[in-house]
Amino acid sequence: MDAACCAVESQRGMVQRNASVPPDQRIELRMGIHVGDIMIEDGDIFGDGVNIAARLESIAQPGGICISDDTYRQIRGKLDVNFQDSGEQELKNIARPVRVYQLRPDTPTSVGQTASGGLALPDKPSIAVLAFQNLSGDPEQEFFADGIAEEVITALSKAHWLFVIARNSSFSYKGKSVDVRQLGRELGVRYVLEGSVRKAGNRVRITAQLIDATDGHQVWADRYDRALEDIFAIQDEITHSIIGAIAPGIVAAEIRRVHDKEAAELGLWERVMRAHWHVSQLTRENCLEAFRLIDEVLQRDPKNAMALADLAFNWHMGGVFEWTKETLPESNERVADAARRAVTADDQDAIAHTALGIYELFANRHDDAIKRLKRAIELDPNSSFARGYLGVALSFGGEPDSSIIALEEAIRLSPRDYLMHRARCRRGASPSCQIPVERSQDIRRCCGADRTHYPGAHRR
């Protein structure tokens, strides 16, 4: 505790000292703190405790402090500062990863601005999409590279749960060599998407990577190789592929970030993410805990569309697997109520419409479900979640050919999605899609039977 207090006060003192000093003459300290055993010999100290503290110091930002998980547990809630979870880190010459918490020099001290003059992070996930680099040496490919980034910005902007920096700001860094962490501070975003385009003959290679700007770690990366036949069709295809990957990546990263926090430390968005994680586990205990957390969110924000959509799906799965005391018809009414409230709260939210579409689907209102899910796809063309359920609705509604198309589109958008067992199962059944009513319970279980994850993690 004393070491943490000393470190915080020292860094605050350095901020005051540097305020009147030119940037190139400032002294900025990095600090690392760990709790562990040490050995003393001939006036010197050594051991793993010292080594870990030294490694933590090396990864701290100038003016910042890094502490280990052991340290964080001892000081949590006792200081008037907010250490942010940076996840497990591989430290040089340390055998096992260490969970690291950081106090950065840009920790918010006032609304909208930080001590270092940067922008504070919004209360929801935030991202800047940089102009993709043209590595082809062909100036004519510049429009293609810019076009991909612009399409990604447009698509991400449709996700109301995400704060997206406008093109004019993110493209202002084009052609410049910029440290991602500094860029994140200047734009006030947690995530940065960057990429490149390289053309060789009649083929093009596109790379993209999503970076956590708070610590510089890579969240996701992929590479796409395509033949240049229809350049605009390729642009659309790559855009859909990138969106289909990074949206789930951000949600997964947000869930990891808040997973180990104490309940009292959670903000509204973090509480939504914690509830979202519990829904995703598909067990009785997690279902009931998700209800509790969602209730806390809705008490503070009754019109939170994301929480209401999660509530609808939680009631759906709770009814299917008999995790609640309510009967299945009673659970279905709860699904309907939560989903309708989600749509009322935000009629432009794709997942809210998807939640209501799921209710209509399992209420045997197939035509209504199809219309509703198509509306969700209009709002978010990259939602494999909505497309997958549209495929199921079309299959149940007697449109096997259209069902197969929708299911294949869902699989194409998210080929490694754990939920694709549902799409593949329904795709195989589509040619003979007349399902007896008495098999509806089996269908419900098939469409929600993967108990390891939750489709909502890949929905946005």
pLDDT higher than threshold 60 for residue 71: yes
At 310, is the pLDDT very low, low, confident or very high (cuts 50, 70, 90)?
A: very high
pTM over 0.85: no
Mean pLDDT check: name the lowest of 8-12, 172-176, 190-194, 429-433.
Answer: 429-433
CA distance 442 to 449: 10
**Could you tell me which residues are beta bridge partners of residue 99?**
88
Tokens of 63: 């003016």
Cβ contacts of 399 within 8 Å, gap of 6 or more: 370, 433
pLDDT, residue 368, reads 94
Q: Rounded mean pLDDT of the chain?
A: 78
pLDDT, residue 361, reads 92
pLDDT, residue 282, reads 83
Q: Mean pLDDT: which of 103-117, 133-147, 323-337, 381-395 is highest?
A: 323-337
> pLDDT (tens digit, 9 = 90+) per residue, 407-458?
888 776 665 454 444 555 555 554 444 443 333 444 444 444 333 333 333 3
Mean pLDDT check: name the lowest of 7-11, 118-122, 450-454.
Answer: 450-454
pLDDT, residue 414, reads 60
pLDDT, residue 91, reads 80
Residue 77 has a CB neighbour count (10 Å cut-off) of: 7
pLDDT, residue 80, reads 62
Angle separating helix axes 420-429 and 440-447, nearest 10 degrees: 140
Size of the chain, expressed as the number of residues it contains: 460
pLDDT, residue 339, reads 95
Short-list 212, 164, 16, 188, CA closest to 111: 188
Mean pLDDT check: name the lowest of 88-92, 110-114, 242-246.
Answer: 110-114
> pLDDT (tens digit, 9 = 90+) per residue, 37-61?
778 777 677 777 888 888 888 888 8
CB 50 within 8 A of CB 33: no
pLDDT, residue 119, reads 67
pLDDT, residue 437, reads 38
Burial (Cβ within 10 Å: 0-12, 13-18, ≥19) of residue 326 = middle
pLDDT, residue 171, reads 87
CA distance 156 to 150: 10
Over residues 82-103, the mean pLDDT reads 78
Q: Give me the domains of the chain, ranges plus CATH numbers.
A: 2-114 (3.30.70.1230), 126-246 (3.40.50.10610), 261-458 (1.25.40.10)
pLDDT, residue 263, reads 62
pLDDT, residue 260, reads 62
pLDDT higher than threshold 70 for residue 283: yes
pLDDT higher than threshold 90 for residue 369: yes
> pLDDT (tens digit, 9 = 90+) per residue, 392-406?
999 888 888 888 888
